[in-house]
Structure 1
Amino acid sequence: MINLDRETINHRKNPSSRGRSPQSQPEAAAKNATSTIPIVFTSSGDLVEVGLVASLARPGGNATGFSNISSDLAPKQLDLLSQLVPHAGTIGLLVNPNNQLTERTTRGVEEAARVKSVKLEILKASDEDEIDAAFVSLAQLQVGALIVGSDAALDRRREQIVALASRYAVPAIYGNRAWAAAGGLISYGIDQRPVFREAGKYAGRILKGEKPADMPIQQPTKFLLVMNLNTAKAFGITVLPSLLAQADEVIE
């Protein structure tokens, strides 16, 4: 089976994808690199939408694995954020405009915001300067809380974003535990540990002779809610017992 490190993938990218950072770009690079060597994805993109597999039930070709569409979590994140900061009249959504899932994420949050009668402000950023500018805009728009979209480019700026959220006193929810561990207020997202375990099992089945083309694309079933009470205290937020009861982990 194929195992491409990031440097190898970068050298093999399709030129038409340069300058973008979609969630499934490394997977696309691996798929483009070979049509014969089996590939097991642990992707956070929509593998069907971007044409990497024919369907979830029968992927076809030489690739299978897991499609972790983290953009679908945004409405749940809005609900959790509303429980944590119930008086926030305006919610911000920070997304990377170069991510192929941004439009899908935005649609989901917009619909959820309409249902809750919450005003939504969309902010787009993909690098250090744009992120700084986005937080200046948040302050000007008097945004009361923030959803940070799941994205590899934003993940790489985790420390900057968490620090800015603290500086501007904007309570924010993030897409995975690493953010809460880094000082973020709350995170809700896919638990990658079972995904990686199951991916290993898929690899084993392929090594025993099964064809990736016939192995269904799996969806995540385990999600993690992590609260950082130290950060909540710094923000002056009292976390309701009902919300704490939902948490899989509490950082103190």
Structure 2
Amino acid sequence: MTGDLESYRQAHAAFMEKIEGTIPDDGGVEVYLQTPNPDPISWANSIRKAVGIGADIIITYGASATLAAKSEVRKTPVLFADVYDPVALHLVRDPLRPGGNLSGISSKTPLETLVKTFREIHAVRSMGVLFSSSDLGSLLQVKKIEDLGSGFGFEVLKRDIEDPREISEALSFLADRIDSLYITESPALHLGLGEVVDFSRGKSLPLLGQIPGLSDGGGLISLEADPVEQGELLADCLRQILDGRKIGDLPIRTPRKVSLVINLNVARSLGYKVPFQALSMATRVIR
């Protein structure tokens, strides 16, 4: 569970709660949690430690840790959660029958829906995007934003963040060049999320993304896969493995609990009157 991310903590808590009673409480099974820093060396070292202690199953949260596991692990089953697009990331070939030693839960949500709804609220012309090139899930999101920008006719200005300390300089560069800001999902950006929210407020820029809790924390609009559901689905996969199912036969699960969240308080502070069309798309409205 890389970094200190609230969404990962929620997913892991839900996972642990749901497997209670599944794993025998006889001292024969140990759950060993590692929280590496959000960098490639730490991810790889944590996976090697898990292999070194003889883990029977390795569980990873997020694309980066999962890709490290795919690189480092050959036989041990690896279950993952909160991975944006397992097929596009080449973690598995067939989502219905992954084969090999990896399977788990996708967190991919339809970015087109988020951008289309946002455009009902704001006539975007130039969107800033914060991403992390070391996180391939983040790269997939920025590529999709660029495709949508080409289709809808708005410019995309990108800044690559590998360390939260780089956020301030990136935001200073973007400040006078953009009319909206999108933040992709990556551990480095999660850790600097407070600074991004404060910047968007100070510059009166609408902030959007797919990070769980973004709208609750000050974003205008977000499209979120529920972290609790991620953990619960992960527990279901573990149960099937404990019952003798091969991990390569477990299909990739996709999120069912997806929320399009609009923060009307933020909208009012930005001077927006959110149209009915946008409100009708929302599954939750913060007033």
* TM-score range for the pair, normalised by the shorter chain length: 0.7 to 0.9
What is the letter of the counterpart of residue 92 of structure 1? G
Report whether the alignment pairs 1:203 with 2:238.
yes
Contact 1:40 1:65 in 2 (8 A): yes
Report whether the alignment pairs 1:5 with 2:44.
no
2:272 aligns with one of 233, 237, 240: 237
Report whether the alignment pairs 1:223 with 2:258.
yes
- How far residue 61 of structure 1 moved from its aligned partner, in angstroms, is 2.8
Query: Structure 2: which 5+ residue stretches go unaligned?
Result: 1-28, 37-41, 49-60
Matches of residues 48-63 of structure 1 in structure 2 within 5 Å? Answer: 48-63=87-102
Contact 1:53 1:63 in 2 (8 A): yes
- How far residue 23 of structure 1 moved from its aligned partner, in angstroms, is 4.4
Matches of residues 8-27 of structure 1 in structure 2 within 5 Å? Answer: 11-12=45-46, 23-27=62-66
Paired with 2:217 and 2:45, the residues of 1 have a C-alpha distance of: 31
Matches of residues 76-91 of structure 1 in structure 2 within 5 Å? Answer: 76-86=113-123, 88-91=124-127
- Any idea what SS the aligned residue of 1:92 has? strand
Partner of 1:118: 154
Partner of 1:18: none
The TM-score normalised by the length of structure 2 is: 0.73
Partner of 2:137: 101
Report whether the alignment pairs 1:65 with 2:65.
no
What is the letter of the counterpart of residue 238 of structure 2? A
Partner of 1:213: 248
Paired with 2:137 and 2:233, the residues of 1 have a C-alpha distance of: 24
Deviations for 1:72-126, whole angstroms, at most 9, x for unmatched residues? Answer: x44333222211212x322222212222234432332222112212222222223
Number of residue pairs matched? 241
Identical columns (%)? 24
- How far residue 228 of structure 1 moved from its aligned partner, in angstroms, is 1.5
- How far residue 59 of structure 1 moved from its aligned partner, in angstroms, is 2.1
Contact 2:126 2:157 in 1 (8 A): yes
Contact 1:135 1:168 in 2 (8 A): no
Paired with 2:276 and 2:264, the residues of 1 have a C-alpha distance of: 12
Deviations for 1:2-32, whole angstroms, at most 9, x for unmatched residues? Answer: 7542249563357xxxxxxx94222244456
What is the letter of the counterpart of residue 77 of structure 2? P
Paired with 1:49 and 1:3, the residues of 2 have a C-alpha distance of: 29
**Which segment drifts farther, 179-188 or 213-222?**
213-222
Contact 1:12 1:33 in 2 (8 A): no
**Which segment drifts farther, 161-170 or 173-182?**
173-182
The TM-score normalised by the length of structure 1 is: 0.82
What is the letter of the counterpart of residue 38 of structure 1? P
Paired with 2:43 and 2:108, the residues of 1 have a C-alpha distance of: 22
Matches of residues 124-135 of structure 1 in structure 2 within 5 Å? Answer: 124-135=160-171
Contact 1:228 1:250 in 2 (8 A): yes
Report whether the alignment pairs 1:40 with 2:79.
yes
Paired with 1:32 and 1:103, the residues of 2 have a C-alpha distance of: 19
Query: Structure 1: which 5+ residue stretches go unaligned?
Result: 15-21
**Which segment drifts farther, 130-139 or 34-43?**
34-43
Contact 1:92 1:146 in 2 (8 A): yes
Contact 1:23 1:99 in 2 (8 A): no
Deviations for 1:197-223, whole angstroms, at most 9, x for unmatched residues? Answer: 222111111111111121122222432
Pair 1:187–1:60, CA change in 2 (3 A): same
- Any idea what SS the aligned residue of 2:175 has? helix
